[in-house]
Amino acid sequence: MKFFLHVDEQKGFIHDLEGIDFPSVEKAIVETFLGIRDIAADCLRSGEELTLHAIAIADESGFVFATITSHDALQGILPAFS
C-alpha cells in the first residue's frame, strides 16, 4: 500500500507527492519513528538544529493514519524529550 509522508518542519509543511510503499500502516509508523531518529542523529553529529516537528502518514485519499512528532520518536532516548 502506498503511503505519503508529509513533513512538518520549522520552515513549513512539505507535501509528499510521490509516496512510498509499505506492507501495512504499522510498518509505515515504525519506519517513520526510525526515520525521525535517524534525522535527529544526523543533526547531533553535524551540530545542526533539529527543525523537524512531525511527519504525518497519509493514504492516497489524504486520510492521515498517524502523525509522529519528533518528541514522540525521541522520548526516552534523549533526556530533553523524556
pLDDT at 82: 57
Please give the residue range of the domain that contains residue 33.
2-81
Q: What is the number of structural domains in the chain?
A: 1
- Tell me the residue type at 1: M
Grid cell for residue 77: 532516548
Instruction: Show Cβ contacts of residue 79 under 8 Å, excluding neighbours closer than 6 positions.
Output: none
pTM for the model stands at: 0.90
Low-confidence residues in the chain, pLDDT < 50:
none
C-alpha dihedral (51, 43, 68, 18), degrees to nearest 10: 80
